[in-house]
Each structure stands twice: as C-alpha cells, then as structure tokens.
A and B are shown apart, each in its own frame.
Chain A
Amino acid sequence: SQQGEEDPQALSIQEGENATMNCSYKTSINNLQWYRQNSGRGLVHLILIRSNEREKHSGRLRVTLDTSKKSSSLLITASRAADTASYFCATDLIQGAQKLVFGQGTRLTINP
C-alpha cells in the first residue's frame, strides 16, 4: 500500500514561478525524502528531512515537514525548464531498516 500521497498529481507553471508540491503520509516516520525523476531515467535524491526538523533548504529547494498533520511540502523557487520532471516523496517506516515507501508522484511541467 502507498504510504505517501502527493498532491497535485500534475502541475504546470510558467518558468520563473514557484512550484509547490505536497505529500501526505499515514504512519509515523523517521525521515522523509524527496526524489526527482526525469522522463526515462531513474530517481535522483534531492533532500532528506528528519522527523525532528520542520524546514530544510537546499539551493532553490525548500522542504517543510509537519508531523502533527503527517504532511510535507516541496517548494521549488524560480523554476526553470530543466525542473520539468516527476517528484516523489518517500518515507521510511522502521528506523534503520533502510526500506522506503514512495508516493505516486507529482508531474511538474515548466513552460518556457
């Protein structure tokens, strides 16, 4: 069963705008990760946020985590055409188990 669910399923914006994607999950977690997948490629790790963290930044990426609501958001600022991809959140269920459960993903399209 899917642990994480992304929202929206698809998002289309103009280059330069900010893109926000959300992820909800069902059970307690230790960490939450975001991955990007370009068409026809494997997933690439973007950022990890621990359950005791509320916000994390990496370049143009900003991730928030609200454990009380069991939700996370990924914000991409000043989007570029190269950001066009699918974005997945992934959660671990058991500390140290290394096993991740991925959501269905958000398909992001950046229009030039």
Chain B
Amino acid sequence: DAGVIQSPRHEVTEMGQEVTLRCKPISGHDYLFWYRQTMMRGLELLIYFNNNVPIDDSGMPEDRFSAKMPNASFSTLKIQPSEPRDSAVYFCASSPSGSRGEQFFGPGTRLTVL
C-alpha cells in the first residue's frame, strides 16, 4: 500500500495567490482529515470527510479556506487568497470506518507564503 499521498511536498507562493493542496487517501478508507501544524498552535484539525461528505469544518479558519472531496480517492484544500500567516505544514490523514480511530498520515505539504 502506498499510504496517504500528498502533493506538492513544498509550496512557496506570494501573498494573495491561490494555493491548492492535494491528497490521495489510502484505498478503502472512508474518512479523510485535513490538519495544519505550526509551532505556535500545534496540530489543528481543519475539516474531515466521511464517504466524501464534509462532516465537521469547524476548524477551517476563515472563508479563504475551502476543501472538497469529489471522489473517494481525491481531496483538495484550497486557500484563496493566501496570507503569510497561512504558512504551515498541512497534513492529510485517512482512516477506515470500523476502526477505533487510528489515523494514517501523509508526509505533509510545507507551505510558505511570502
């Protein structure tokens, strides 16, 4: 199994630009999570999906952030427009239903907004 795949691994962009992060969960996993990790705030859950449907987006910081899951094998997290304070490592994780909640994390995307 290839594990959770994220792209790009690194992204450097200028303030005001649109950023799109991508995630391919482990095949057969019904849950997909987007997290943001910073030194100041630690690991924060942004949004999670179950069977491609958003279940809880209470962690999405503001309207500039949006996430979609058009099918079971692909999800995107979009930031438009990006700001320097969005600089962080963004992780995608997936989990199978029926498990006790163990999550499998991708390698992350390090985003730098100049």
Contact = CB atoms under 8 A, between A and B. Distances in A.
Contact of A48 (B50, B101, B105): B101
Interface string B72-108: 0000000000000000000101010100111111111
Interface residues of B, number: 21
A98 B4 CA distance: 17
B4 to A, nearest CB: 7
B56 interface: yes
A100 interface: yes
A45 B48 contact: no
Contacts of A44: 105
30 contacts: A2-B42, A31-B100, A31-B101, A33-B101, A41-B107, A41-B108, A42-B4, A42-B91, A42-B93, A42-B105, A42-B106, A43-B43, A43-B105, A44-B105, A45-B103, A45-B104, A50-B100, A92-B101, A98-B31, A98-B50, A98-B97, A98-B101, A99-B56, A100-B101, A101-B45, A102-B42, A103-B42, A104-B42, A105-B42, A105-B43
A101 B103 CA distance: 12
A88 interface: yes
Contacts, number: 48
B28 to A, nearest CB: 15
Interface string B19-56: 00000000000010000000000110100101000001
Given A42-B107, A43-B91, A98-B31, A88 B43 contact: yes
Contacts of B100: 31, 48, 50
